[in-house]
Structure 1
Amino acid sequence: MDRNEVMRRMNNAAAVATVLVMLMVFIRRYQHRPLKRRNIPRHPSYVRDLDKHSHMRRILNGSTSSCQDYLRMRIGPFMNLAQMMRDGGLLKDTIHVPIEEQLATFLYKMGHKSKNRARRIDFIRSGETISRYFNKVLGAIFSLRDRFMKQAPNETSAEIMESSQWFPFFKDCIGLIDGTHIDATVPTKDAPKFRGRKGITQNVLAAVTPNKRFTYVMAGWEGAANDFTILKDALSLPPPNGLRVYEGKYYLCDVGYPTMPGFIAPYRGVRYHLKEHSGRVPNNRRELFNLRHSTLRSKIECTFGILKSRFKILSAKPHHPFPSQVNIVIACTILHNYIAIIDPNDKFLNEFMHVNEEDGDILNEDAPIIDFTQQMTQREQLDTREEWKSRRDQIA
């Protein structure tokens, strides 16, 4: 073998050895590099489906309180709501996500103000899937508004008729009216309009019957807006969007509203809140009127307490577009009414609620009151206001 052939073979051997060394180094580095998410093998789809079904079974078939604690309603009303959605075509079962799971992901967020990432883990779904079905269910619940939120009837409620405190004095009362503030997130340019005493909020006007059901809700007003301004807007809207007031009937309201046709506020400068009357006997007819007025009107404060206790999303900083924030508030009131009708023994409806007796902005009663059904002179407006003040005196 000549010298050239020996050198050629040695060079080939050196090249092979170099390649082998480089390959060994690459393998060792690959073995010791951190594992990335995409390199973790996924479970077979049938295993993931079993995990998803197991989670729903734990919610619906666990302890007696698991469904109520997790979804904020008992299993009977939940299954009834799912069937209602199915029968009405409001939601549809898909290959991978049945209606029951769509509702469960929605109710869990409403009841626990959970983030999208937490529901992704619990329900083993992608963030896009969770968000998509939240919006679908929100729209479906909103479409039930006319079915479960009807304006107050033109008759005396059983709660008033059966109470010697209220009947016959408030026999023409058809409901209670007040506003509440819900935290809001708005663009920076709109923040000054929404910033009030309680931060950046939306001001929500609601009418409630003595049995704690919502009959009218107007959401989306700026937090800095006066309660009476929102009421005027509600009265100005044509049916069925406007607040309905019957001839001779009225709502009880606080000092944030005037005494005028259809609305009776308490006497001013006189003890009103229940805690102010604790351990004291009313000294005159005005104090007695305010006491009875307060015990009845406290029903709406109690209803707000139940609503916010059940749906924690209303006390969290929202991360949805503002139109969705408005719809979420209304959807919560619809679900509240649904549960009150379907399950009167619901835990939240029957537990003691602390009543927040904070007054709204005190309105100047000497300001002209606008009648939205017909044009009236200022003198006529003052005369009608005096008539309703006289009616309040007669009740007292």
Structure 2
Amino acid sequence: MISSYKGDKWIGELLQGHPTRFHNMFCMSQAIFLDLLNELECVHSLHGSSRTTSREVLAMTLYVLSHNESIRFTCERFQHSTETVSRYFSIGLEALVKLSCSVIKPIDLEFCDIPRNILYDNRYMSYFKDCIGAIDGTHVDALVSNAEKAAYIGRCGSTTQNVMVVCYFNMCFTFLMA
């Protein structure tokens, strides 16, 4: 479905519309989008202006991130100038980075507690009693300038960024480094 709406009205239409359509645009459900928006506004100072709502700032940021979209195409979709979209993308990204600092962290900062699934299972206790998580590296697709592209070429010939992550036994990330 092609919408004649732009900017915040388009987001409102998507929020009231079919869940699949919203998920296709922002890679999350309407409820999660609204919860994320509330968290970023209340705790991490996401803001808009008199002409651009914070809801639109988050939507532009997620649109760029979820579709690897350029600022120019985002300008067309939201009907704002490149300066406006670039500025608000930076504000939205900064708010998401602040959120990540409060979300991606160990549950037990001292690493004193042994997870219950290890503590009460003799098969694993002797091997994992002092383990604090699992660490692994992976490559994620990256969009870099032509000048830097050579440093980011992966084995398959595409541009990638090497990412190291640590997750706890509940599969939540406790550390991430790119």
TM-score of the pair, normalised by structure 1: 0.38
The residue aligned with 1:141 is 96
Distance 1:113 1:72 in 2: 12
Percent identity of equivalent pairs: 31
Contact kept, 8 Å, 2:26 with 2:66, in 1: the verdict is yes
* Partner SS, residue 133 of structure 2: strand
Distance 2:154 2:25 in 1: 33
The within-5 A match list for 1:39-50 is: none
The residue aligned with 1:87 is 42
Contact kept, 8 Å, 1:152 with 1:175, in 2: the verdict is no
Q: 1:196 to 1:72 in 2, by over 3 A?
A: closer
The within-5 A match list for 1:281-300 is: none
Q: 1:84 to 1:190 in 2, by over 3 A?
A: closer
| 1:289-341 C-alpha deviation (Å, 9 max, x unpaired) | xxxxxxxxxxxxxxxxxxxxxxxxxxxxxxxxxxxxxxxxxxxxxxxxxxxxx
| From 59, 72, 77, the counterpart of 1:122 | 77
1:172 aligns with 2:127: no
| From 31, 34, 43, the counterpart of 1:76 | 31
Q: How many residues align?
A: 170
Deviation of 1:89 (Å): 5.5
Q: 1:57 to 1:161 in 2, by over 3 A?
A: farther
Contact kept, 8 Å, 1:175 with 1:209, in 2: the verdict is yes
* Partner SS, residue 210 of structure 1: coil
Distance 2:115 2:177 in 1: 23
The residue aligned with 2:65 is 110
Distance 1:196 1:65 in 2: 33
Contact kept, 8 Å, 2:104 with 2:174, in 1: the verdict is yes
Distance 1:116 1:129 in 2: 10
Distance 2:26 2:101 in 1: 23
1:67 aligns with 2:26: no
Q: 1:90 to 1:65 in 2, by over 3 A?
A: same
* Matched AA of 1:218: M
| From 53, 58, 62, the counterpart of 1:98 | 53
1:216 aligns with 2:171: no
Distance 1:157 1:68 in 2: 34
Deviation of 1:119 (Å): 2.2
Distance 1:55 1:159 in 2: 46
The residue aligned with 1:259 is none
Distance 2:67 2:59 in 1: 12
Q: 1:119 to 1:163 in 2, by over 3 A?
A: farther
Deviation of 1:165 (Å): 6.3
TM-score of the pair, normalised by structure 2: 0.76
* Matched AA of 2:71: N
**Alignment RMSD, CA only?**
3.0
Task: List gaps (5 residues or longer) in structure 1.
Answer: 1-47, 220-396
Deviation of 1:181 (Å): 1.8
The residue aligned with 1:38 is none
Task: List gaps (5 residues or longer) in structure 2.
Answer: none
Deviation of 1:151 (Å): 3.1
The structure that has the greater radius of gyration is 1
Distance 1:70 1:214 in 2: 25
